[in-house]
Amino acid sequence: IVDTLTGKSTATTITIGSTPVVSASANSLTIRGEGSAQTSIQQGLLKAWCNYDQASVNDSFNVGSVTDNGTGDYAIVFTNNMNNVHACGAGLGVHDAGSYTRIQTYDHDDPAQTIRITINMQDTNGNTGDAEPACTLIAGDLA
CA–CA distance, 83 with 44 (Å, rounded to integer): 15
pLDDT digits (tens, 9 = 90+) for 91-132: 887 776 656 666 666 555 565 677 777 777 665 566 777 778
List the end-to-end C-alpha distance of the chain, in Å, as a whole number.
34
Most confident of 16-20, 53-57, 62-66, 139-143: 62-66
Q: What is the reported pTM? A: 0.71
